[in-house]
Structure 1
Amino acid sequence: MGSSDLWKTLTFSTLFICLIFIFLTNSKNHDLFPFHGDPISSSFSAVDRSGDTPTDLRHVAFGLLGSEKAWHHRKAYIESWWRPNVTRGLLYLDKPPTGGDLLPWSAASPPFRVSEDLTAFVAETRAVAPIMIRMVHGIMEVFREMDGGDLRWVVMGDDDSVFFVDNIVDFLAKYDHRRYYYFGGQSEFVMSNYWFAFDQGFGGAGFVLSYPLAKDLADGMENCLRRHAGENSADLITMHCVADLGVNLTPLKGSHQIDLHGDISGLLSAHPKTPLLSLHHLDLVEPIFPSMDRFDSTRHLMKAAAADQSRMLQQTICYDRRRSWSVSVAWGYSVNIYETIIPRSELQKPVETFQPWSPARRPPPLYMFNTRRLSNTSCESPHVFFLEEVTKVPTGRILTAYARAARRGLPPCHGDAADSVSKILVDSPAGKRVEIDRSECCDIVGVDGDVAKVNFRECAVGEVIA
């Protein structure tokens, strides 16, 4: 080929490529380039959700795994939050209920089923932990019975898991139920996560499966149980089955396994800035209200939850500069008054009123969060007040009253002591807080005799809490 012919060929080729480029970039069919930018987000941005109704409680099914023996003394925990004929779900027992305290079956309890007999399957797979196989298999049993055109999410928990269903629904409503999600809480105790897995959802705190993930797990349940028959933890087997489907855990700070012992008031009084979703192991810690037993404590907490779940345990901090007081409110649970000014960043750390899950002495870190040590000094030891009553007032607000708990005989930190205060009234809006991107602010509006009054409000733009 001569140089002239070569030049003509190159010119024609270049012109042809340019025409193709111009055609494509001006084409109305932009799907010729389906992955502009991030291919994952672009592919899902095409999903049309305009026809979806907002997620509500009818779209969520709860699967609770328990034993007949334990249900005799644990049913009070579930009945504290279960809403008969409203909440959707089932309780799975290991055998039919017996005894006068269980039969006839209480209408305040979830409907029950007896778990499938897996004796032959356990023998076939040589599973090392038959009870754990039964609990994981329960995911399939719940899904199979609850599946329907309106099912979007499956929440699995234990027979002593306390769920805050309004907060759960509000949380899930922000996510597309047609995608793959595995939400769950980690353990508070570092070693529990190390012994099992940092990326598993602990079943007592409860874990959540979106519809397609729950369906895939149910469809492949027996094969997955065969693959992981050598594991001895139900939560770990579940995590493996989820991982086999290409899905990882999204941790939830509002789900609490409570792998702790003793008095957990220090933890509950400094809840992270996220909606409270669940509490577990309440029968293995001291009653959360010191003047009540465990069951009454749970029911008492749920009185505040019935008034406003969005604010449950949310920590709001304000200061009385004239008296040099720091006031920390865990809405619906407690109020702490410190007779000195303590930075908000410090007050957000739970006080170690509790002990670690394992009694063995180990060097720090023990917990999955920063803590403050208990103090015997007057300025750093708070005056503690616990929820007494909740009232919706005609002004359209909620009034919560907190009564003084016993305090060690410490002298005042300074002249303006809080010893005279026996009750604290907190006035808060009745409306649900939809977004919690920022905490609320509060004002100490005065001390009248032995009653201190605190008002909640939204923080002003640029307001500094210090």
Structure 2
Amino acid sequence: MSLASSFLKVHQYYLTKAWKTLAFPTIKLTNLLSLFLKTSLALCTCFIISLFFYLSLSLYHHNYNYSPFQHPYHFIISHDPSTFENNNEPTNISHIVFGMGGSAKSWQDHRHYTEVWWQPNVTRGFMWLEQEPLVLAKETWPETLPPYKVSGVTSSFMYTNKVGLQFAIHLARILKETFQLGLENVRWFVMGDNDTVFFTENLVTVLAKYDHNEMYYIEDNSESVEQNVAQTYGMAFGGGGFAISYPLAEVLVKILDGCINRYAVLFGSDQKVHACMSEIGVQLTKEPGFHQTDGLLAANPIAPLVSLHHLHASEPLFRDTGRVESLKRFVSAYKMDPGRILQKSICYDPNRNWTFSVSWGYNVELYRSLETSIELQTTFKTFQTWRGYEDPFTFNTRPVIPDQCKRPVVFFLDQIEDGGLGEWTESSYKIYDNVLLEKSNCSLEVQYVNVTASYFRPELWKKAPRRQCCDIIKGTDEGSNVVEIVIRGCHQFESVTPP
């Protein structure tokens, strides 16, 4: 019986009794008053109960944002536990959980790439291995790495790709296994390989632009056309790292195992995840700071650097030391000023008709000629695809200049420090190939380039991206062995035009 019908029956009962009382005047007045009070009390009680139920239902619909015309996925998202805890707080590193995929056989060789960016008790996540790690008898798992977990057995899943490995299924399921841990206050899951280097402050800057209550699948294409053609241009490549918002992960984990079997012919884990995304109907949101390879250092886009990959298979970033030590030097510059790392500035020396191209935190290129900005933002093709082919890349390249004396003179980062008061940095870049220049009879008197720059404020990335400008303030005279450059924001109508 409904609340309304109950109310009517009670009302009818007492009205009937009242009518009978009035019809028989022999009933005492006290009985009539008693009957009136009972009727009023019943009516008030029914009204209060009705009001209580109305307010309760209204509050329920408000909290869950429910509508009979709403898509069922929205109802799932409304139960996201992370949305009920400090949901209006800006995204920070505590809202991100990393799922790193690795092999028990290779983690020891690749651990150093993770150690340079992982921050114990700050970053959250796990290193997922296919079996218990192979360690020495007295060795324990290093505290400098993410804690490890062993993935579930994947032998029951189908895998029919003729050139791939069943290991891809282990990598594909890392997202689901991480999600099922039930960690609190999670907004983003970030997947990557154990040789992927993340720049976490910039990662937070990028993810904070997006509403974590919506379904987002964020990364970028591979820089290799070969890889994109073989797989797809709409896929996030796992090695470069990709980010998935909590609501999307909540839907994805429900169909992931089925996708693994439905797309058994696909080669890689990231392909299988992308196939699931197509079934959900979510496309890739591209952010150019994620890098599948490390080819964009001196020509990085105007965007925060988020990740580098395959560093174990490429030449050291700095030629005077090994891979890991080079990376540590590079990361030290990044930690000094995260938003500015690899950002390019171009300025001219009109006295000698020279051009300086600064890729902050990495190198300075000196051209003994006046070069245009369109040329300088195009990287030299000093690398090949992952498989060693000469296929094109998704960005423009220019050939290496054969004449050693016409090539740019390269200065690599030597040291960096705070310039004082926490307002600017002072970095020094040392000439790299002076011996080769002397052998070619085109040596240069300049040995160092010092660069001063104010700290790059993260909020600048919320504005329309623009390359910053620079000035040469010292070393324009003949015979100077040190050039001083200051990087600054460009003026309103300023352009980088050769003199």
Residue 169 of structure 1 corresponds to which residue in structure 2?
204
TM-score by length of 1: 0.82
Q: Per-residue deviation at 1:394? A: 1.5
Does residue 1:424 correspond to 2:449, yes or no? yes
- The CA distance in 2 between the partners of 1:410 and 1:187, in whole Å, is 39
- The CA distance in 2 between the partners of 1:361 and 1:223, in whole Å, is 37
Residue 55 of structure 1 corresponds to which residue in structure 2?
91
Are the equivalent residues in 1 in contact too, given 2:437–2:443 (CA < 8 A)? no
Per-residue CA distance 1:371-413 (angstroms, 9 max, x = gap): 1111133664111011111101224211111111015437999
TM-score by length of 2: 0.77
Equivalent AA in structure 2 for residue 182 of structure 1:
Y
Are the equivalent residues in 2 in contact too, given 1:378–1:410 (CA < 8 A)? no
Residue 482 of structure 2 corresponds to which residue in structure 1?
451
| Alpha-carbon spacing, 1:378–1:326, altered in 2? closer, same or farther (3 Å) | farther
Per-residue CA distance 1:309-345 (angstroms, 9 max, x = gap): 1011111111111111111111111000101111111
Residue 373 of structure 1 corresponds to which residue in structure 2?
399
Equivalent AA in structure 1 for residue 371 of structure 2:
I
- The CA distance in 1 between the partners of 2:402 and 2:458, in whole Å, is 37
Residue 439 of structure 1 corresponds to which residue in structure 2?
467
- The CA distance in 2 between the partners of 1:390 and 1:115, in whole Å, is 42
Equivalent AA in structure 2 for residue 403 of structure 1:
K
Higher helix share: 2
Instruction: Give the gaps of 5 or more residues in structure 1.
Output: 1-42
Are the equivalent residues in 1 in contact too, given 2:471–2:486 (CA < 8 A)? yes
Are the equivalent residues in 2 in contact too, given 1:183–1:249 (CA < 8 A)? yes
- The CA distance in 1 between the partners of 2:374 and 2:257, in whole Å, is 48
Are the equivalent residues in 2 in contact too, given 1:377–1:410 (CA < 8 A)? no
- The CA distance in 2 between the partners of 1:155 and 1:70, in whole Å, is 21
Q: Secondary structure at the match of 1:226?
A: helix
| Alpha-carbon spacing, 1:101–1:127, altered in 2? closer, same or farther (3 Å) | farther
- The CA distance in 1 between the partners of 2:438 and 2:284, in whole Å, is 46
| 1:130-279 alignment runs, 5 A limit | 130-145=166-181, 147-148=183-184, 150-258=185-293, 264=295, 267-279=296-308
Equivalent AA in structure 1 for residue 268 of structure 2:
S
Residue 78 of structure 1 corresponds to which residue in structure 2?
114
Q: Per-residue deviation at 1:359? A: 3.2
Q: Secondary structure at the match of 1:171?
A: helix
Residue 338 of structure 2 corresponds to which residue in structure 1?
309
| Alpha-carbon spacing, 1:192–1:293, altered in 2? closer, same or farther (3 Å) | same
Per-residue CA distance 1:130-185 (angstroms, 9 max, x = gap): 2111111111011122532x110110000100000000001111110011111122
> Highest Rg: 1 or 2?
2
- The CA distance in 2 between the partners of 1:460 and 1:305, in whole Å, is 26
Does residue 1:319 correspond to 2:354, yes or no? no
Does residue 1:288 correspond to 2:306, yes or no? no
Residue 375 of structure 2 corresponds to which residue in structure 1?
346
Residue 402 of structure 1 corresponds to which residue in structure 2?
429
Equivalent AA in structure 1 for residue 397 of structure 2:
T
Equivalent AA in structure 2 for residue 406 of structure 1:
D
Equivalent AA in structure 2 for residue 399 of structure 1:
E
- The CA distance in 2 between the partners of 1:326 and 1:146, in whole Å, is 54
Residue 408 of structure 2 corresponds to which residue in structure 1?
382
Q: Per-residue deviation at 1:192? A: 0.9
Q: Secondary structure at the match of 2:413?
A: strand
Are the equivalent residues in 2 in contact too, given 1:339–1:418 (CA < 8 A)? no
Q: Per-residue deviation at 1:76? A: 0.2
Equivalent AA in structure 1 for residue 494 of structure 2:
E
Q: Which moved more, 1:65-74 or 1:129-138?
A: 129-138
- The CA distance in 2 between the partners of 1:151 and 1:327, in whole Å, is 44
- The CA distance in 2 between the partners of 1:440 and 1:221, in whole Å, is 44
